[in-house]
A and B are shown apart, each in its own frame.
Chain A
Amino acid sequence: MLEFPRWRKIWLWMITLLAIAAALPSIFSAANVSWPEQLPEPTVNLGLDLAGGSHILLEADPGQVAAQRLENMEESARGVLNDAEPRIRFGDVSTRDGQLSFMVESAADVDRAREELLPLINGTGLIQEWDLQVIDETRFVLSQTDDGAENAVTQAMDSATEVVRKRIDALGTREPTIIRQGDTRIVVQVPGLQDPDELKALLGQTAKLEFKLVDLDALPSNVAAGVAPPGSQIFPYVEGSAQEGQFLAVKRLGGIKGDNLTNAQQSFDPQTNEAVVSITFDAEGGRKFASLTEQNVGKPFAIILDGKVLSAPNINEPIRGGSAQISGSFTTDTANQLAISLRSGALPVDLTVVEERTVGPDLGADSIKRGMIAMMIGSVAVIALMVASYGRFGVYATAALGINVMMLLGIMAALNTTLTLPGIAGFVLTIGAAVDANVLINERIREERRRGRRVIAAVENGYKEASRAIYDANITNFIAGVLLFLFGSGPIRGFAVVLIIGLFTSVFTAVTLTRMWVAGWLRKTRPQDLNV
């Protein structure tokens, strides 16, 4: 018991001081004292429920990715078959049940068609993206493989995360966190944001911009009834436009997508003085745009944003410079928002807000202040009770408790974890466990003294006998913590992380550190009696 080799003491103090040092920045910032800039600054992140801000969970629909993929496949397949030398004739194209199927007109073309399609099916990566079957001699059926569909969702989510990041950066908010979660979700956390509406409007916009030729052959009665002629699609006009409530038929294939934009700015139309968005294409997009407008001078083309027609102006002359204007009853704000969305690129998949939590910053600050004061009062009461009950041993216990709190904060800061409201429950439990460990030890020492053991033997036995229950209790809680982390969702995980770290710090401080102090004191003074 009294044997505490020097190396072990140095070692324990080093761990303690290191953890406390890691806690200092957090404590300074909580007390609103500035921290010298030259020093590293790992502080405990406060969760948005404590610090105020917005937490938004976005979810994508994998079905939409698959549908988009099917549409792209149809376009590519048509392309390669038409471009083949000589051209491969085909018909009866259908995209039902997530499959693309078509018939080549001559059975002699089957092998050639298969040859042309192979690069599309295999994709560029290691996994096979599509399954190709030929049934009834001339019918091709292309279906998505599970791997391919999964891969497409992963890629869509990766780029969606990137787009979300760009859009939020454009808002100029401080230190946003954007993390992919699970297969189809993105978490966005913006501290201090009071009004999340703008953010949500920005994230809810897919910003998929398309330029498509208007189908002039469509019967107006069919269009009004929402029936698309073959090869066409029907889109509604955007809300707020003069044609709101009306529909427009456009050619399904052959348009241009807004993927090739290099810039988008809000500006004003010099003639009408209304707010518009000016866009600039890159070289490839500019070329495509020029050839589309050249071939269709005098005809109208529709500007479609997220499946709604913004406007359908006539092409007066070919547009060759690679820049154009989008008009469509904008206000300055909506035009600006669209410009930001276009600049950051279209989301490859629609994102839906499935969870939103906003905490006003006033409330957060007030919560922390009141929580701090309440904890201060509680600490004083605990210290008083411990010292009154166990004297010197109570002093050791409370010193250990103080170090425990610091170490826990320090480790959390070093690991860059976030403290949330449920985390505070974990904190309370940790402090409870630490207090309990010292109470157990001290009560046991009392008991051993009552049984007539001499001072050193009583202390030694006290630590030994109490340790069994302390370790058993901590290991069970540790196991529970790990399982909570594995099976729990966000807030439960926050609790589990604090619990797990706290178990280590509380055993270290309440058992190991107090033991070192008690041993040092016993060795120095060799008391004949204990006041415990």
Chain B
Amino acid sequence: MRLLKLVPENTNIKFLKLRIPFYIISVLLMIASWGLVFTQGLNYGVDFAGGQEIRATFVGEETAPVAELRETVSALEQVEDPVIQRFGEENQVSIRVKLPPEAEGVPEFANQMTVAITNAIKVEHPEVRIDGVDSVSGKVSGEFREKAVYALLAAMIAIALYIWIRFEWQFGVGALFALAHDVSLTLGFFALFQLEFSLQIIAAILAIIGYSLNDTIVVYDRIRENLKKYRKMPLPELLDLSVNETLARTVMTSLTLLVALLPLLFYGPASLFGLVAAITLGLFIGTYSSVYMAAPILIWLGVNSNSFVPEETVADRQEKLARGES
């Protein structure tokens, strides 16, 4: 049986030739992402913004009457700027409302709001099924935001430290930079398309970091190996060689994960869509960053073939001199 080989043997693609333009593009994208995050803002779900989200299915109807709902819900007292979106199937919606400031500390308030909204909908659509209600107070959502940021930062710093210890400091910086790139672009993507940003998406970003890190470490491991093997090879060439040698693995792993993710993306439950979409996006960003962000930075940070050779100490040198060696 002939086996499938996705990547021909002994490829010699000059990946790093384009490192400068790609770097410029990536750094610009990172800046643009943060610009979007700060100007457009992320479309925080109730997890991070506080407030209420009601998910409903209009049983027996083809499509959910979004425009009509917007009117019905906006007409209610105390409801300002409700966000009403289709969610999952054609006949499913999510209705998000912020709780007014006076609701803080009044436990019944959120409850009354749910009842008011569902009752208003049921007047016109008695068959509506309420699939879920999330309500998060401002205090708790603030804690979620804070904890998510701390958790992400702590994990990224620890990762960089470990890689520094196992490789060299340049590699630690490179991995951290690649991760920052992945996280930035994912955030930028969510800001640009104003997709709902919830705790689930944080979990997705963590999974993206995990994948990207796998890729980066595989490439770095090969670079480390080649640095020891080809002591005289110029670094750009050596990086190209390392990326080429691991290319078959990169393509195969990414493709395997993609075929596992696509059915979930197109057929999986609506509640998982945001999560899976973010991971799928991260698969591409993470693979790209391992090659184009994590590797070239080593050239500028000054990695060379002596990096993995134990340094000659003063004592060693004196001993050598004493033995009459150069």
Contact = CB atoms under 8 A, between A and B. Distances in A.
B249 to A, nearest CB: 4
Contacts of A429: 206-207, 210-211
A459 to B, nearest CB: 16
Given A204-B107, A356-B110, A439-B252, A483 B211 contact: no
Interface string B1-23: 10111100110000000000000
A484 B151 contact: yes
A472 B166 contact: yes
A426 B205 CA distance: 11
Given A370-B268, A479-B162, A480-B155, A492 B260 contact: no
B271 interface: yes
A476 B217 contact: yes
Nearest to B249: A443
B248 A443 contact: yes
Contacts of A356: 110, 133-136
A382 B260 contact: yes
A373 B139 CA distance: 39
A57 to B, nearest CB: 7
Interface in A449-474: 450, 465, 468-469, 472-473
A375 interface: yes
A428 B269 contact: no
Interface stretch (B28-36, B140-148, B308-316): B140-148
B213 A477 contact: yes
B214 A436 contact: yes
Contacts of B6: 389
Contacts of B200: 421-422, 425, 491
B83 interface: no
Interface stretch (A157-165, A223-231, A357-365): A357-365
Nearest to A354: B137
A57 B140 contact: yes
B253 interface: yes
Interface string B116-154: 000000000000011111111101100110011011001
Interface string B239-259: 000000110110011011101
Interface residues of B, number: 81
A337 B30 CA distance: 56
A447 interface: yes
Nearest to B149: A487
Interface string A220-244: 0000000000000000000000000
Interface in A470-508: 472-473, 475-477, 479-480, 483-484, 486-492, 494-495, 499
Interface string B153-170: 011101100110010000
A414 B200 CA distance: 25
A502 to B, nearest CB: 10
Contacts of A352: 105, 107, 137
Interface in A154-212: 196-197, 200, 204
B206 to A, nearest CB: 6
A431 interface: yes
A158 B156 CA distance: 37
A442 B204 CA distance: 28
A111 to B, nearest CB: 45
A10 interface: no
B218 A489 contact: no
Judged by DSSP, the binding face of A is helix
Nearest to A422: B203
A483 B131 CA distance: 34
A49 B166 CA distance: 39
Interface in A371-388: 371, 373-375, 377-379, 381-382, 385-386, 388
Most A C-beta atoms less than 10 A away, residue of B9, B263, B275: B263
B199 A425 contact: no
B202 A378 contact: no
Nearest to B205: A425
B63 interface: no
A60 B256 CA distance: 49
A468 B256 CA distance: 22
A468 B134 CA distance: 45
A368 B155 CA distance: 30
A377 B199 contact: no
Contact of A473 (B5, B9, B213): B213
Given A476-B159, A484-B155, A492-B199, A428 B132 contact: no
Given A473-B218, A491-B199, A358 B137 contact: no
B196 interface: no
Given A359-B131, A389-B3, A483 B158 contact: yes
Nearest to B154: A483
Contacts of B211: 429, 432
A366 B147 CA distance: 31
Nearest to A490: B199
A102 interface: no
B203 A492 contact: yes
A290 interface: no
Nearest to B264: A374
Interface of B: 1, 3-6, 9-10, 55, 57, 105, 107-108, 110-111, 115, 129-137, 139-140, 143-144, 147-148, 150-151, 154-156, 158-159, 162-163, 166, 199-200, 202-204, 206-207, 209-211, 213-214, 217-218, 221-222, 225, 245-246, 248-249, 252-253, 255-257, 259-264, 267-272, 275-276, 279
The 4 closest A-B pairs by CB, nearest first: A422-B203, A367-B269, A378-B260, A469-B221
29 contacts: A200-B107, A352-B107, A356-B133, A360-B131, A363-B132, A370-B267, A370-B269, A378-B260, A381-B263, A389-B6, A421-B200, A425-B275, A429-B206, A429-B211, A432-B214, A432-B257, A433-B210, A439-B253, A469-B221, A473-B218, A476-B159, A480-B206, A483-B155, A483-B158, A487-B154, A488-B148, A492-B147, A492-B203, A531-B1
Interface of A: 49, 57, 59, 196-197, 200, 204, 352-360, 362-363, 366-368, 370-371, 373-375, 377-379, 381-382, 385-386, 388-391, 421-422, 424-426, 428-429, 431-433, 435-436, 439-440, 443, 446-447, 450, 465, 468-469, 472-473, 475-477, 479-480, 483-484, 486-492, 494-495, 499, 531-532
Given A391-B3, A483-B158, 6 more contacts: A59-B139, A357-B134, A378-B264, A425-B203, A425-B204, A491-B202
